[in-house]
Amino acid sequence: MTLPTTPASLEVIASNTSLIDVRAPVEFAQGSLPGAVNLPLMVDEERHQVGIAYKQQGQQAAIALGERLVSGEIKQARVAAWQAYLAQHPDAIIYCFRGGLRSQIAQQWLVDAGLHRPRIEGGWKALRQQLCQRIDEAAQQPMLVVAGLTGCAKTKLINQLPNGIDLEACANHKGSAFGRQPDEPTTQIDFEHALAQRLIGQPGKLVLEDESRQIGNANLPLDFWHALQQAPRIRIEMPLDWRLDQLRRDYIEALEQGYAARFGPEEGWQRMQRQLASALERLAKRLGNARLQRLQRMQAMAFRAHAAGDIQAHEAWLAPLLTEYYDPLYRYHLEKQQGNRPTELHIGDWESCLAAAKQWSA
């Protein structure tokens, strides 16, 4: 019996199809397809042993070893996991690395259990090529960049637009030394896949935030990054008090809520403090020892006040961090771009920049 396949098409991603990744956990951790769950045919150690057998003795010996390793109760448990997932997601599609032996074995075992599901032709590799190609194509699309000092709510503006592409959400990182989130930053592969997923269905103009090439653990693909650097921009200008209020909500309140949701209130609170303290420490060389120690004292006082219910106390260290470090750094980069600076289509407050982005998009 011929086992069914489905093309490695971006429609699989665009339709939010549920996917069963039967690769080993170590492969899945390096990068998966959007919407995938890892229900492996072989766990890491089994895959390692089969790989050695393949190199030393050839394919048939490797297959025979795999059949011995994944048999009996182990095989029943793997099939049961697929069955349980398909009971909740009956339209799920199967894939392995190249759409070859592992996904075919999973299909056959499911057929033996009375379930028929297709696999992706060419597997993970073929669909990844499609996703990377979508990013390369996007580098040719018209782009508008939203710029501005730290705390100007650039990401919030991006997310108000149907054609806004939130690069920080793709990276699960807010982009600065203080931008780490409670969940781990994405891998490079998962970042590229998340970016491509957001670009599907966006064939026209794109609005993006002014970012450095590296966001957390991830780097923007080079052609896309060059296009972003050359694109026209709008620049948000907001007063310090407004920016501090925005930073407190984004980098303190939301961060505390995120850590509490994942680790519970007590452990989450401790982890949030450690993250913010280590982020400040990472700026030691740029801040200088005296300024770092002053900000650390202010931060420690803010944590104590926060614990007592005064969350606004964080503005005591956030304000000098902005005015003495981030703002001068941003203006220095603007001055470096003199003569080679991208066109600025509009400079104004947050609302006027949102209106300008909407007008440009239309």
Contacts 24+ apart (CB under 8 A), 30-36: 30/187, 30/189, 31/128, 31/187, 31/188, 31/189, 31/190, 31/193, 32/124, 32/189, 32/190, 32/193, 33/95, 33/124, 33/127, 33/128, 33/193, 34/193, 34/194, 34/197, 36/95
Could you tell me which of 37, 21, 283 has the C-alpha nearest to residue 178?
283
Cβ-Cβ contacts under 8 Å for 189 (sequence gap 6 or more): 30, 31, 32, 128
- The per-residue DSSP string of 290-315 comes to HHHHHHHHHHHHHHHHHHTT-GGGGH
Cβ-Cβ contacts under 8 Å for 35 (sequence gap 6 or more): 13, 16, 17, 18, 19
Distance CA 96, CA 24 (A): 9
Give the active site residues.
Answer: 96
C-beta separation of 41 from 78 below 8 A: yes
Say which amino acid occupies 202.
Answer: Q
Q: Residue 322 carries which DSSP code?
A: I
- The per-residue DSSP string of 102-114 comes to HHHHHHHHHHHTT
Tokens of 302: 């803010």
